[in-house]
Amino acid sequence: MKVGIAGCGGRMGRMLIQAALEGEGVRLAGGTERAGSALVGADVAGVVGAESVGATITADPAEMFAAVDAVIDFTAPAATLTHADLAAQTGTILVVGTTGMDAAGLARLAEAGRDTRIVQAPNMSVGVNLLFALTRQVAATLGVDYDIEIVEHHHRHKVDAPSGTALGLGRAAADGRGVDLDAVADRGRDGHTGPRADGHIGFAVLRGGDVVGDHSVVFAGPGERVELTHKASDRAIYARGALRAARWAADRPNGLYSMADVLGLH
């Protein structure tokens, strides 16, 4: 499978390049960067100091989509939606790890999925997607007598909050209870807030240092607490998960899929 990396000069882009060079069943065959980047025109493998693979970085995403079987995208929502349109036009597999996607953006991904295969997840880690499934199950089992709080900690450079993974955990908990997350989410507390509202799902955000990503779901009930935690120490887990998703999608019908589909967790 020929793979292209969108935004290959960024932190995750470089990790994806390395994973593609090392991964089985894939060949690094393209990459994009913004116009004006010093990387445009360079060999994509050279970004991580590897030997040339004969594919250069372009500022034109359409050029990359025409040359590869799958594109992995951990960029930004606006760029991802442009890439989804290109994927639909070319039939290229698109794996989306971009965070900060709103409901309208997800709807556009679903629309593009009519003409190609798209795998989208707020987190591509196998362990985190298992955590999503466990959170849904525990929320359904414990019920509303247990208050749910989601705590996440990321490095100081992360620009969105709560993280896409934290929101994904919130949606999993809400799904387990059969409620709409938007109706019960407490995403910020300050000052005299009064007592905690029954059935709400709270979020707490920490930013600092070089933390790759820590997430905990706390179920606090009468006389006991249940805590589910995942801690990432290496971004390579996201890259490996994304490549696994691309390979999985190769023989699937068109549609919008999740990592739960890839991992058989439904």
- Tell me the catalytic residues: 154, 158
Q: How far apart are CA 140 and CA 5, in angstroms?
A: 38
Residues with Cβ within 8 Å of residue 227, at least 6 apart in sequence: 216, 217, 218, 219
The structure tokens listed for 257 are 């899929």
Note if the bond before 162 is cis, omega within 30 degrees: yes
DSSP string of 78-119? HHHHHHHHHHHHHT-EEEE--S---HHHHHHHHHHTTSSEEE
**First-residue to last-residue Cα distance in the chain:** 26
The answer to whether the CB of 249 falls within 8 A of the CB of 70 is yes
